Each structure stands twice: as structure tokens, then as C-alpha cells.
Homo-oligomer: A and B are copies of this chain.
Amino acid sequence: MEEHPHLPHLQEELAALNERLLAMGGLAEDAVRLSIVGLAARDSAALTRVLTGDTQINQLHIDIDTRCFTLLALHHPLAADLRLVLAAVKINSELERVGDLAVNIAGAALRYIAAPPVKPLIDLPRMSELAQTMLRESLDAYVRRDVALAARVCERDDQLDELKTTVFRDTLVHMLADPTCIEAALQLVLISRHLERIGDHATNIAEDAIFMVSARDIRHQAPAAALEPGAPGR
């Protein structure tokens, strides 16, 4: 299909799309970092900033969705380009959720710091760093089409699960020793679950990157064969 002479080139549009996904990923990562730094520093101003600061992420979410739609409607990208746009649609949703989770962490952290500290926080900052790294690397893997990096992100998810289990056991010990700290300690368990989910979203992004790079290319099949009952893709 010929392109409309007034249309910007597809490749430029795809590059602009990737730029915005990276910007959104950066904002989401910042929000996660700030929520855990605010928790560790018992800094309610920082936590309140996370609580109220997801407007920019939400605007990018809508902007990226609209760009994907426009790209598909006007350029009819095929094969690798089509997979890139579909991956962008999905990654966009993942990043928006990460932003929501940072807000959830900030909310739980504000409830946590309303009471005396339950224990020194060591594993939650570790979980946060790991989740942030996974997020950054999954987006790098997508932009650079780096399947090996994407696979490494998926492997890191086990480390995050182990840390989550450590937080659970450790917090339980404190709850049993001092029931007055149960309510605050529960917030730490919930925060660890939010961080675990951020890791899940990074894993999903990495999987989208792998699909984008390695999926079977239906453009190289005759349409009739591609749609035959029983053929892959049916």
C-alpha cells in the first residue's frame, strides 16, 4: 500500500512511539523509587508527591494509545512493525499499572509511617531496586529488540519472589512478638506484594519484547494458507 504523501514516515512515527514509552517507563520507575525512598525516610511529603503525581503517566498512557490507534489506521504496518505497535499497546497498559502500584505503595507507606517503625527496612528497598532494574531492562530489551536481555529479566523474577517470601516471614515474626505492630507490619507485607507485581509487569513487558522479535511472520505466508483451519494462527 502506498503511503499518503502528507503522512509522516512510519519509521519516524514508530521512533516517536518508542520515545514516549521510554519516557513513561522513566516516570513509572521514578514513582516506584520515590515511594520506597519516602517509606524508608518516613518522608510524608515525598509520599504525597507520589500519591498525587501520576497525572503525567496517565496523560502519556492516553497519548500512546491514541498514537498506536492512529498508526494502525493510517499506516497499516505489517509483520515486525505491526508486532511493534501491538507490543506498544500492551507495554503501555503495563506501565500505567506500574504507576498505579507506585501510588498504592505510597498510600500503604503513609499508613505505615503513621505508627512507630516496626523494624529496619532492608529487603523492601532491595525488592524495589530489583523491580526498578527489571522495569528498565525490560524496556531496553523492547527498544533494542534484545531477546537475551528480555530473558534475563524473566529470570530475575524468581529473586523478587524470594525476597517477598523473606519479607513475609520476617514481618510475621515481628507481628507474633508484638501484636501492637500488626497493623503497621501488614502494610509492609502489602508493599512487598505491590513490588512483586511491578516485577510481574516488567516480566510481561519482557515477554512482549520476545514475542515482538521472534514471532512467526505471517506476511511471508499466502493468506489462504495462513487462515486454513488447523494452521497455526487459527
Binding site for B on A (CB under 8 A): 1, 4, 6-8, 63, 65-70, 72-74, 76, 78-79, 82-83, 86, 89-90, 93, 168, 172, 175-176, 179, 182-183, 186, 189-190, 193, 204, 211, 215, 218-219, 223-224, 226-227, 232-234
Contacts and interface: CB of A to CB of B under 8 A. Distances in A.
A89 B86 CA distance: 8
B172 A223 contact: no
Nearest to A182: B175
A6 B90 contact: no
A224 to B, nearest CB: 4
A8 B228 CA distance: 10
Contact of A66 (B172, B223, B232): B232
Nearest to A13: B227
Contact of A186 (B179, B189, B233): B189
Contacts of A232: 66
Given A83-B69, A193-B193, A218-B73, A6 B224 contact: yes
A1 B168 CA distance: 58
A211 B68 CA distance: 14
Contact of A223 (B7, B168, B186, B211): B7
Given A69-B218, A70-B218, A172-B182, 16 more contacts: A1-B1, A6-B227, A7-B223, A8-B227, A67-B233, A73-B78, A74-B218, A74-B226, A76-B76, A90-B93, A175-B182, A176-B179, A179-B179, A182-B182, A186-B186, A189-B189
A70 B182 contact: no
14 contacts: A7-B223, A7-B224, A7-B227, A63-B234, A66-B233, A69-B82, A72-B72, A74-B218, A76-B76, A86-B89, A93-B204, A172-B186, A175-B175, A176-B179
